Amino acid sequence: MKLVAFVSDYRMTADTLDRLKPEKLGIILVQNGVYHATTKENGNPSSLLNYSADYYILQDDLETRGLKSSDVDSKVKVITFGDIVDLMFNEYDKTAWI
């Protein structure tokens, strides 16, 4: 299964992702989830960025919070709403909201 998961909360625990075993995992950071790609935890990137996954962040949510593409961890690709649609229909079989 190829799964793309939307992460919308910064305080989420990773145990949900630990239980998923997709052959391909994509993580799209939206709403307050964008802080996973822009905020350091004790000087380290968010533990959410430790998965073997393709990471994306919604540009509109990033800008709404006063952040810029240059604030985003290098593992994470900044995308638009159109890019999300393309990913959901062309790259992944299943979608989850975490």
CA distance 16 to 5: 11
Q: What number is the average pLDDT over the span 72-77?
A: 96
What's the confidence (pLDDT) of residue 13? 60
Q: Which domains does the chain have, with CATH numbers?
A: 2-9+22-97 (3.40.1260.10)
3 state DSSP class of 56:
strand
**Nearest Cα to Cα of residue 30 among 10, 12, 7:** 7
Task: Tell me the whole-structure pTM to 2 decimals.
Answer: 0.92
Q: What pLDDT, in 10s, does the model give residues 8-17?
A: 988 766 677 7
What's the confidence (pLDDT) of residue 44? 87
Mean of per-residue pLDDT scores for the chain: 91
Checking if the pLDDT of 27 tops 90, the result is yes
What's the confidence (pLDDT) of residue 98? 84
Q: Are 7 and 28 in contact (CB under 8 A)?
A: yes
